[in-house]
A and B are shown apart, each in its own frame.
Chain A
Amino acid sequence: DIQMTQSPSSLSASVGDRVTITCQASQDISNYLNWYQQKPGKAPKLLIYDASNLETGVPSRFSGSGSGTDFTFTISSLQPEDIATYYCQQYDNLPRVTFGQGTKLEIK
């Protein structure tokens, strides 16, 4: 199985800060990496697909980069409404679909 290591598991930041979350795959997954935001009691919301593509309607302060095994998710200027848990998710053609452990983002 492909293992996904997401870090940090929790993060505290101030409004306006630049926030970065990383996800590392145990083997090359090309650009098959997606990012989701989940607020308490709600379904996950797709933010970034295929490593760097911004889903329609998602604010441009969210971005993603990377390929192969190392990926980064960035919020350029943290807003109060961004408080949530963020998950990376990888897939391949077998198919194997796995999610990272999640990063809980809080306001400092």
Chain B
Amino acid sequence: QLQLQESGPGLVKPSETLSLTCTVSGGSISSSSYYWGWIRQPPGKGLEWIGSIYYSGSTYYNPSLKSRVTISVDTSKNQFSLKLSSVTAADTAVYYCARHPRRYDILTGYPRPVYYFDYWGQGTLVTVSS
């Protein structure tokens, strides 16, 4: 059974960098069939996709966060990570890691990510406060 687990500091100071890691177990992050993403949810609010990565290192980011986000992968540890720089109180949220498929486009014949998230971690609350 695939499991994802987020880890990292629960408290980050304003202007600093938020760093989280997602450890994948019960499956390989190097699977050619999946991408791995980060989604966040401020307390009492809705969901926001942050970005995704393929095991090769290809990344896709939410344009609204792109200037502050870096997602990386470590296939040897079966982990992928999130860094969000220059955080403010607005970045306080539960951060989830999740998996989504890769499939071949019928029209182009090229592989591409499809964004439905079928496995999720339990989430980790990160609070931005001094």
Chain B residues closer than 8 Å to A91, beta-carbon distance: 114-116
Chain B: number of interface residues, binned into ranges: 20 to 34
| B48 and A99 within 8 A (CB) | yes
How far in angstroms is the closest Cβ of chain A from B25? 16
Report the tally of A-B residue pairs with Cβ distances under 8 A. Answer: 51
Provide the B45-60 mask, 1 if CB < 8 A to any CB of A, else 0.
Answer: 0111100000000001
Chain A: number of interface residues, binned into ranges: 20 to 34
How far in angstroms is the closest Cβ of chain A from B33? 15
| B63 and A87 within 8 A (CB) | no
Chain B residues closer than 8 Å to A55, beta-carbon distance: 118
Provide the A38-61 mask, 1 if CB < 8 A to any CB of B, else 0.
Answer: 000011111001100001000000
Enumerate chain B interface residues (CB-CB to A < 8 A).
Answer: 46-49, 60, 62-63, 96, 98, 112-118, 120-123
Enumerate chain A interface residues (CB-CB to B < 8 A).
Answer: 32, 34, 36, 42-46, 49-50, 55, 87, 89, 91, 93, 95-102
